[in-house]
Chains A and B, each alone.
Chain A
Amino acid sequence: MSTVFSEEQRDCLQELINVAMGLASDKLARFLNTFVHLQVPAIELVNSSQIPAQFEAQYSSTEAALVSQGFLGNDGLRGEAIVLYQLDNAHRIAALLGYDTDSASELEMLTDISSILTTTFLNGLAGQIDNSLSYSAPRVLSSRQTNVTEALIETACHWELALKVDISYQLIDHSFNCDMLLLIPGEAVLNIQQILDRIVEEY
C-alpha cells in the first residue's frame, strides 16, 4: 500500500487543508474576539508509531495537554483528531478569554478551543471532498498531571497512520502554537488518495 502522496496529491491536500484552516481560524478569531494571523500549515503523513518520538522532544519538557475527538464519515473515512498544546500558552489564552485560572477551567477552555478547531477544520475539509462527518465529544487525554508522551503512545497505537498538521497561530498580542494530528486507518488514506486524484483530474 502506498502511503506516500504524489506531488500532485500533496499539493491538492495542502490546498484543501489551507481552505479548511481558513475556516477554523475565522471561527477561532470570532471566539477569541481577535485577529488570527494565518500561516500555511505544514502537513506530513507518517506511521502513527513514529508520532510519539517526534513529539517527545517538543512536548515532554514543558507542561502539555492533549485533547482528542473521534470522527466518522462516509466511504471509510474515520479517525481521531488530536490537538496538542503547550500549557504555558494556554494560561495566556485562558486569561484572554476570561476563564478562571483554576485547572478545571483550563481544561474546559482547552476542550472548547479544540472542539472549535477540530470540528470547523474537519467540516471544512469534508465539505470540499463531498463527505460529511460526525464527531464524538472531545476528551482531554492528558493534562499537567499526566505524561503527554504516554498518553500519545497509548492513543496512537490504535491507528496505522497519522496526518500531521502543524498549526501555528499568532494572535495580535499572543502567539499560540498547537499541533493537530489526524490519526487515521490505512484504508482512509487510500480513500483520501482516490479523492485527491479525482479532484486533480477535474482541474
Chain B
Amino acid sequence: MNSEPARDRLVSLLERAAELKELLSGNEAIARGIYEAGVKVAVGYPGTPSTEILENVEKYKEDVYCEWSPNEKVAFEVAAGASLTGARAIVTMKHVGLNVAADPLMTLTYVGAVGGFVAIVADDPGMHSSQNEQDTRQYARFAKIPILEPADSEEARDFLVAGLELSEKFKTPVILRTTTRISHSRTLVQLRERVEHEPQGFKKDPPRFVPIPAWARPMRVRVEERLKAMAPEVCASPMNRIEWAGKELGIIACGVAYQYVKEVFPEASVLKLGWAYPFPDELIRQFAAGVSRLLVVEELDDFVEEHVKSLGIACDGKNFIPNIGELSPMLLRRIRARMEGKELPQTLPVEEASQLPPRPPVLCPSCPHRAVFAALGKFDVVVTGDIGCYSLGVAAPLNRMDTILCMGAGISMAHGMKVAGEKRRVVGMVGDSTFFHSGITGLLDIGYNKSAPVIIILDNRVTAMTGHQENPGSGLTLMGETTWQASIEDFARACGIKRVFAVDPLKYDAFIELLKESFDTPEPTVIISRSPCIVHDHSGLQTVRQVDPDLCRTCKVCLKIGCPALEFTDGHVRINSLMCGGCSLCEQICPFDAISPISEP
C-alpha cells in the first residue's frame, strides 16, 4: 500500500510538525499556559464549560499545586491568599460561579494582587449546560478590572500569560473570559517552556492588605487611578489590533465572534478587541474615523456597543445582532443579508426531522438517582431541586422536580416553602458535591429556625455531571492523594438535624417506607441516598436483567422510570443488554415478576 521510505519520510515530517504545534482545546491551552507562566497555585470548582482546565493542570502537578475547592468563593480566596505571597495564582469557574465568588472579587479589586492573579471564567452563551447566560464582562466593569477575551486556543494560552503580567504590573486581579466555543474548540497551539516565578513570601503591609475603612478609602482612589493608568496600555496592547481592509464597513469584534466575522465579512476592516475593558477609547476613535459604517459584533450584552455610543460614535450592533444566545457564522450570514436588504432563504432541517423522536439527555442506565425519583412519584410532594445530574429528574417520564434556582437552593428553598405555610409535603434535593458547595448553610438554617422539610442528599461520592471530579466526600484530591472523606451525616447532625438516615435507594421498598415515615414526622429529616455513580465506579454493576415475554403483560410500569436500557418496540418490552447495568429497579417495580437476572451461560 505505502512504501517504507515514504512512510519514514512522513513520520519524520510529522514528528517535526508535532514538535511545533498541538491541537488543543481552549481549556487544554489555558492549562498549558498555567504551566508555562510559572503559576504556583491553580484552584477552582468544576462547571461546564470550564472544567477541563484544572483537569489538565493536574498533568503538571509536579510544578503546579492544584485543587478542587468546595466552591468558587473558597477557590477565589485560596488563589487570593497565594497571590499575596507573591505566587502566581489562578482560579477557574463557570460564569455562575463568579456570582458565588463575587464577594471576594469586589474587595480583592481594592486590595489588589502581588503575584499575578487571573480568574478564568467560562461563559455559556446559548446555555448548552447552564441555567442562565449572564455576560461576565459586566463583572469586569463592576469590579473595575481588566477582562481579556481570546478568540482561539493559542490566544487563550497567550492571554492567560499576558493577564498574569498585567496583574503584576497594575497590582490588579484580571478576568480571562472564555465562552463554550472557545473552551471546547480545538485549534493549533505552539507550545513553550515553563518560566519559573518564585514567590517572595508575604510581606506585611496593613494599609495595602487590610481594607478597614481608613485604608479602604485610599484603596478606592487607587482603583480609579489604576483604570486611568491602564488607558494607554490597553490601546497599545497587541491583544487589541486593527486589521485594515475595505473602508466601507468596519467591524468591532470580540472573542469567537471575531472568527465568524472574518469568515462572513472578508472585505471589512476589523478592530479585534481581546482586551475590551477598560475600553481602548483612542483605538476605537481611530478605527471609527477610518470606516464609513461601523458595526459591533459581540455575543450577549451590548457591552462594547454601549460604550462606543457613549463616545458619541454612531454604530450598528444589537439592532442586527441578537443579545440572546450564541452567534454562529450562519447567523452572521443571515444578518449580513439583512443589512444588505436581502433575505437569505432559511436552511431549515429537512421536513422529516420534525417528526423525529427527541433525544434529550437522560439519567444513565442503572443511575441510583432514578430510584429516588421513582419513589417520590408515589407521593404528593413539592420537590425543590438543584444543579447536577439529578436536574434530569425534571423531565418526563419521571417529572419529579419542581424548582431549580442555583447551587444549594434545593435545601434553602424547601425551608422557605415550609415557613410560608406550603400545605403539601416539601422535599429539598441536592447532590453530595452541591451539599458541600453551598447546601450546608441552608441545612443549618433549617436546624436553627426549626422547619421540617425532608432533605434528600443524593450521595454518589463524586461530582458526576461535569465528568466525575473529586469532592470532599470522595476521599481523593485532584492531585490524586488520598484524604479524609467528609461525612454528610456528621454535617447534618452538626446542623441540628436529629433524624439522619443513610440508605441505598435501590433497596426500593425500604426506601419508600422511609420516605413515608419521614413525611409523617413533624421534625426535619435528612435522607442520604448513598449509592455510587455507576459510570464512575463500576464495582456496583450487577447481572444484566431480561424480560420474560411469557410473564410480561405489557403493563409498561417499568417504562415509567425512563431507563434508556428499557426499549419498547413492536409491542414488546426488551432490555438492551449492552446498556443495562443490573441495578434491578425495573425488576423490583414489575408487578408480574417478569424481569429477572439473565441466566449465567
A interacts with B? no
